[in-house]
Amino acid sequence: MDANSQGAAGLLRALLRTAALFTETGRAVSQDHFPHVRWTPVSDLGGHAVRLGLELAVLGHEVVFEIRAWLEEDRFTIEGDMVLDGEAVQLALPPAATSDVERFTAVLDRYAEELTAPARGHVGMLIESFARGS
Instruction: Look at residue 52 in the predicted model and tell me its pLDDT.
Output: 97
Percent of the chain with pLDDT over 90: 66
Instruction: Look at residue 49 in the predicted model and tell me its pLDDT.
Output: 92
pLDDT above 70 for 3: no
pTM for the predicted model, two decimal places = 0.90
**Integer Cα distance of 71 and 51 in angstroms:** 12
- To the nearest 10°, report the CA torsion of 99, 100, 106, 111: 0
**Higher model confidence: residue 34 or residue 133?**
34
Amino acid found at 17? R
pLDDT above 90 for 133: no
Which residues, other chains included, contact 44 with Cβ-Cβ below 8 Å and sequence gap of 6+? 50, 51, 52
Which residues, other chains included, contact 132 with Cβ-Cβ below 8 Å and sequence gap of 6+? none
* Cβ atoms within 10 Å of 65's Cβ, excluding its own: 28
- CA 39 remoteness from chain centre: 13
Q: Is 19 helix (H, G, I), strand (E, B) or coil?
A: helix
Instruction: Report the b/e string of 16-37 with b at 16+ CB within 10 A.
Output: eebbebbeebbeebbeebeebb
Instruction: Look at residue 48 in the predicted model and tell me its pLDDT.
Output: 83
Residue-wise pLDDT tens digits, 40-95? 999 998 778 999 999 999 988 899 999 999 998 889 999 999 999 999 998 999 99
